[in-house]
Chains A and B, each alone.
Chain A
Amino acid sequence: MYRETQIVNTQNNIPSNAEDAGFAADGGELVINVGPQHPATHGVLHLVITLQGETIQKIEPHLGYIHRSIEKMCESLSYRQFIYVTSRMDYLSAHINNHACALCIEKGLQLEIPPRAQVIRVLMGELTRIASHELWWGAMAMDLGAFTPFFYAFRERETINDIMEETCGARLTMNYMVPGGVMYDLHPNFQKRVKDFIQLFNSKIDEYDDLVTSNIIFQNRTKGVGVLSKEDAVSFGCTGPVGRGSGVQCDIRKLYPYEVYDKVQFDEIIETGGDSFSRYLVRVKELRQSIRIIEQLIDNIPEGDFQAKTKAVLKLPKGEFYSRVETARGEFGVYIVSEGGTTPYRIKFRSPGFSNLSALDHISRGCKIGDLMAIMGTLDLVIPDIDR
C-alpha cells in the first residue's frame, strides 16, 4: 500500500514518452520506491527516493509497516508482563532491551540485585552484542555483494544461539531478565561452552578482517561514503557505533556504568572518520572488546542467588523513572511514568534506530544510489525497533 504524499508526486516525474531516455540528464527528477519488501532494508522499511540521474536528492522514510503500538500495549500490562513485549522490538538485542526495562523497574523499587545476577546479565548482554554484530557483519557484506561472509558470521552466531537456548530456553526472544535478577540460574554447561566459543571466535576473528575489512573493493565502496560530522551526529541523536564512528563519545557503558561495567576493563572504540567505513570499523573492533569483557567475567561469576526476593505483584511508587543501556545499536532508554499502580501510566522507549534513521536523509544526499546500500548497512537498522 504505497501512500501518496504531498511532497512526492510520482505522477509528474515519470516521463510521458518512455523512449525519452534523456529525462534524467536534462534535469528531470525520478522518484523511486525502495521497500517495504526489499532485501537491503532488512525489514519493512519504505524509502521514497528522489533521484537526479544516479545522485540522491532526497530520501523520505515511510514508517509504520510493523507498528504495533507497543507503548499503548504496555499501559495495560503489569510491570512483570511488559518486559516480554520489548524482546519483540529490537529482536537482535532482546536481552539488552529486557535489561533496560528491568533496570528501570529496579530503580523504581530501589532494589539491589545480587552480584551473581549482575555478572550473568553483563555476560548475556555481551554475548547478545556479539551475535548482533555478527549478523550485521554478514548482512552488510552481503548487501555489498559478498556472499561468503554471511555464512562465516552465521557459523559463529549459531554457537551463541545454542548457548542462549541452553540457558534461556529460546534463541532469539529470550525473556531472561526479570525485575530483581534473571529468570533461571545458568545451565551447568554454560561456562564450558562460552569458553569454547571464545576459543573458536578468537581463531576466526582475524578471518573477518582478511575477508572484508582489508578487501579493496569493500574499502572503495565504504570509504568517504555517507559522511556524518560530529556535530550532526549529536544533533541527530545518533548513538552507538553510528555516533562513535563520527567521534562522539556516547557509550553508556562507560559514561553511566550499570551493573559491573565499571569493574571490567574495555575500551570505548571511537573513530573520527564519520563515513561508512568508520562505522564498520567501530563494530568490528567492538567484537573484540565484547570478547574481552566476557573473558574477564566468565571465570569470576560469584556464587549466590540469581534473583532478589520480590513481591509477586510489583507496584512502582508514584514518580518518573528513566534508565538507559547500550544496546548493539546505541542508547536504549526506558521512561516510565508511574501513578503508583500495578501498570505503568505511560511508558516511552527511546530506541536507538529511530534517531539513527533520522540521519539517513542528511548523510545520503549527494551520494549515488549504489552507495545507499553501504550507508544503510552501516546504520544497522532494525525496523521493529524503529516502528515499535
Chain B
Amino acid sequence: MTKEEMKEHIAQHLPGAVFDETGEWLNVQVEADAWRSFAQWLRNEVLQMDYLFCLTCIDWPPAAAAKTQTAAGGGALTMVYHFTSTTFRQPLVVKVKLDRNNPEIETVSAIWRTAEFHEREVYDLFGVRFLHHPDLRRLVLTDDFEGHPLRKDFEDPVNMIRL
C-alpha cells in the first residue's frame, strides 16, 4: 500500500483529518475526541496497523508554540503515535494535540498491549492522563515525585545541570 492510497483511505474515513507529507512518513493529525474510534479503525479495518512501534509526547509551551506553526496558540502537548502494519509495512504517524493545562486522552492499551507501558511513561514524564487506562501510575519516577520532568518548564535546582 502506497502513501497516497493510505491517505485516501484515511480521508474517506475521517474527513476532518489534517495531513502533513513534508517528512519521511505520512503524518495525520486528529482531534482528541475522535482518537479512540479512529484508533480502533486503524487497527481493525483496511490499514491493519497492528504494530505500534513508538508512542511519545512532545511539549510545546506557549513560548515555543508562538515561534512555530506546528502548535500555534496557548501551548500544547502533542501525542505522537508511530504505526506500521506487518502486512503492508507502510509507516504512519498519528498526532493528537492536547490542552497543555488539562491533558486528557483515551487510552489505546486495549488495542495495542504495548501502549500500556508507553502510556504510563508518558503519564509519568509529561503528565498526560489516559482515560480508562487499566493501571495508570508513575513508571520510572517515585510515586511522590512532584512535576513532570520532560515538560519544558520543569525546573529542578538540585539535580538539573544546565550546559
Contact = CB atoms under 8 A, between A and B. Distances in A.
A146 B31 CA distance: 55
Interface string B68-107: 1000000000001010001001000100000000000000
Contact of A3 (B59, B112, B142): B142
Contacts of B54: 322, 333, 335, 348, 350
A6 interface: yes
B39 to A, nearest CB: 13
Interface residues of B, number: 39
Contacts of B113: 232, 235-237, 358-359, 362
A171 interface: no
Contacts, number: 91
Given A333-B54, A346-B58, A235 B112 contact: yes
A319 B23 contact: yes
Contacts of B139: 63-64
A48 to B, nearest CB: 12
A237 B51 contact: yes
Interface in A347-368: 348, 350, 354-355, 357-359, 362
B137 interface: yes
Interface string A58-70: 0000011001010
Interface string A337-348: 101000001101
B25 A348 contact: no
B65 to A, nearest CB: 11
B56 A255 contact: no
A237 B141 contact: no
B8 interface: no
A324 to B, nearest CB: 8
Contacts of B82: 322, 333, 335, 350
Contacts of B116: 358
B56 A348 contact: yes
Given A6-B137, A355-B117, A358-B113, A339 B68 contact: yes
B156 to A, nearest CB: 10
A67 B23 contact: no
B52 interface: yes
B149 A72 contact: yes
Interface residues of A, number: 45
A331 interface: yes
A5 interface: yes
A346 B114 contact: no
Contact of A355 (B58, B59, B89, B114): B114
B29 to A, nearest CB: 13
B5 interface: no
A331 B23 CA distance: 21
Interface in A322-336: 322, 324, 331, 333, 335
A255 B50 contact: no
A237 B25 contact: no
A350 B58 contact: no
A336 to B, nearest CB: 11
A335 B51 contact: no
Given A232-B113, A348-B56, A64 B141 contact: yes
A127 interface: no
Contacts of A76: 162-163
B140 interface: yes
A248 B86 contact: yes
The 10 closest A-B pairs by CB, nearest first: A237-B114, A64-B140, A358-B117, A67-B140, A348-B56, A350-B54, A235-B113, A346-B58, A236-B113, A76-B163
17 contacts: A63-B140, A69-B150, A72-B150, A77-B163, A234-B50, A237-B112, A239-B53, A322-B24, A322-B54, A324-B53, A333-B54, A335-B54, A345-B64, A346-B58, A348-B54, A355-B117, A362-B113
Interface of A: 1, 3, 5-7, 63-64, 67, 69, 71-72, 76-77, 107, 232, 234-237, 239, 248-249, 255, 318-322, 324, 331, 333, 335, 337, 339, 345-346, 348, 350, 354-355, 357-359, 362, 387
Interface of B: 22-25, 50-54, 56, 58-59, 64, 67-68, 80, 82, 86, 89, 93, 112-114, 116-118, 125, 135, 137, 139-143, 149-150, 154, 162-163
Given A6-B137, A63-B140, A322-B54, 6 more contacts: A7-B135, A64-B141, A71-B125, A71-B150, A333-B53, A335-B54
